[in-house]
Chain A
Amino acid sequence: MELISFGDNGWGDELFVAALMTIAVAITAMLIGFLFALIFTPLKLSKYKILNLVANSYTTVVRGVPELLVIYLFFFGGSSAIMYVAQIFGYYNYIEINAFITGATSIGIISGAYSTEVFRGAIQSIDKGQFEACHVLGLKKYIYFFKVIMPQMLRLAIPNLSNVWQITLKDTSLISVTGLVEIMRQSYIAAGSTRDPLFFYSFAALLYLILTFLSMKLINRLEKNYSRGY
């Protein structure tokens, strides 16, 4: 028990901060994912074949390639790509992106591919009459999307989005390879310095279980809220 006590002797406070970091990365990645989904879902549903192709290749490639490989691409290639762009604008100094941004972006792109599929499925399963009714009533595009389509879409999407959240939360453990101090990395450090890997990795597993359990409870409540009236 002393190993996870708070203060100088134990790793409790470090692991607590690391758990907060995991949550922060997961939430940021999820939001970045939504941003990507916001761009690619309309492309998927577009009439134009070429736009479909762009969106389909994004979701297929990202969902078919290991997460770790995507993280390595961003970890090793991220700063040189940014420097290349900066050089075009005449900035020649070395730019280093921090591990948080690299990690959250790479996990976000992965999570975005899953979210895109979820949103596409949800929009496609909304009754056609709803779209036609909006048309007939002559609703403004803004009201049409935010007041009619969005609430119905969210109800259908939330159960699947909760799966995406679970995947994203677990994927954050892979960012430890970039050196960002989240649960996995902190356990690795603690295991190395105390020579007690079994305890610390099991404790990390417990932390992840707690996180997934709590987020499930939260999402269930959200789901109830959005399915009022059904």
Chain B
Amino acid sequence: MDLELIITIFPKLLGATLITLKLLSASLFFGLILGLFFAILRLNKNKLVRGFAYGYSYLFRGTPLLVQIFIIYFGLGQIEYLRSTFLWIILKEPYWCAIIAFSLNTGAYTSEILRSAFQTIKPGVIEAGRSLGLNKVFIFTKIQIPIAIKQSLPAYGNEIILMLKGTSLASTVTLMDITGVAKFIISTTFRPVEVFIIAGSIYLFITFLVHNLIKYLEKKYRYQ
């Protein structure tokens, strides 16, 4: 154990934490929107719409995140047409490619979580709303969504932690997040254990915070 090394690398890894958190929050934000959208499609009566949403979730849950990032970062740049559109401004940046891949990935998992939450809502609750003469939108936003949020909190907490670990793959497309910096330090100093301990502790600390936040929210949203 080399204490001096630990003291010098700690600020570097802490600086990289900012990028990890940025990637995490951006992809969770977009992922939640995508997830809600596809969860609603999954509840649609039309078979084709349902099939499309299922295909999306199957595709992104059945393949490794690494493949998804590589397709978006290395693959899409190959299409000549894309290079001439404004999309290229986004797609040439590894930062945005990573966020797109992460959002699509976490969106697929989130849609599954939300779908099962919507499906476990007792039909009686919706019928009660209908018999009170509430319109469809009101029932959805004021009854179904709050119940679904409460139902899906524990599973969504796990998804946040999985996504946090997923952001480490951003280092494979040259981004310097915690794992990227850690790998750089390991390959220059050849001290994997010290670096692992520091980088690992930062990740564990974030996991700990997320875990407690979810616990707090679960308590808050519990039925009275």
Interface of A is mostly: helix
Query: In whole Å, how far is B51's beta carbon from the nearest beta carbon of chain A?
Result: 16
Tell me if A196 and B78 are in contact (CB < 8 A): yes
Q: Given the complex, which residues of B lie within 8 Å of A68, measured CB to CB?
A: 168-169, 171-172, 179
Known: A69-B182, A76-B187. A208 touches B62 (CB 8 A): yes
- CB-contact partner of A173 in B66, B203, B208, under 8 A: B66
Q: Does A53 contact B (CB under 8 A)?
A: no
Q: Does B75 contact A (CB under 8 A)?
A: yes
Query: In whole Å, how far is A64's beta carbon from the nearest beta carbon of chain B?
Result: 4
Tell me if B74 and A197 are in contact (CB < 8 A): yes
Q: Does B48 contact A (CB under 8 A)?
A: no
Q: Does B126 contact A (CB under 8 A)?
A: no
Tell me if A66 and B165 are in contact (CB < 8 A): yes
Q: Given the complex, which residues of B lie within 8 Å of A65, measured CB to CB?
A: 165, 199-200, 203-204
Q: Does A158 contact B (CB under 8 A)?
A: no
Q: Does A204 contact B (CB under 8 A)?
A: yes
Count A-side interface residues using an 8 Å CB cutoff: 36
Hey, what's the 0/1 contact readout for A63-89 against B, CB within 8 Å counting as 1? 111111100110011001000000000
Known: A197-B78, A208-B62. A73 touches B196 (CB 8 A): yes
Q: Given the complex, which residues of B lie within 8 Å of A205, measured CB to CB?
A: 59, 63, 67-68, 71
Interface of B is mostly: helix
Q: Given the complex, which residues of A lie within 8 Å of B67, measured CB to CB?
A: 173, 184, 201, 204-205, 208
Tell me if A208 and B64 are in contact (CB < 8 A): yes
- CB contacts between A and B, total, < 8 Å: 111
| A78 closest partner in B (C-beta) | B192
Tell me if A197 and B75 are in contact (CB < 8 A): yes
CA A71 to CA B75, docked complex, whole Å = 25
| A206 closest partner in B (C-beta) | B63
Tell me if B168 and A209 are in contact (CB < 8 A): no
Known: A72-B182, A197-B78, A198-B76. A64 touches B203 (CB 8 A): yes
Q: Given the complex, which residues of A lie within 8 Å of B59, measured CB to CB?
A: 205, 209
Pairs of residues from A and B, 9 with the lowest C-beta to C-beta distance, nearest first: A66-B168, A198-B75, A77-B192, A173-B64, A197-B74, A76-B192, A170-B64, A64-B207, A66-B165
Give B residues with C-beta under 8 Å from A.
Answer: 58-59, 62-68, 70-71, 74-76, 78-79, 161, 164-169, 171-172, 179, 182-183, 186-187, 190, 192-193, 196, 199-200, 203-204, 207-208
Beyond contacts A72-B182, A77-B196, A212-B63: 14 other A-B pairs, Cβ-Cβ < 8 A, are A64-B207, A65-B200, A66-B166, A68-B171, A69-B168, A69-B179, A72-B186, A184-B64, A197-B75, A198-B78, A201-B67, A208-B67, A209-B62, A212-B62
Q: Can you list 25 A-B pairs with a CB-CB distance of less than 8 A?
A: A64-B200, A64-B204, A64-B207, A65-B165, A65-B203, A66-B167, A66-B203, A68-B171, A68-B172, A69-B200, A72-B192, A76-B192, A77-B196, A174-B169, A177-B172, A184-B64, A195-B78, A196-B78, A197-B78, A198-B79, A201-B71, A201-B74, A201-B75, A202-B75, A208-B64
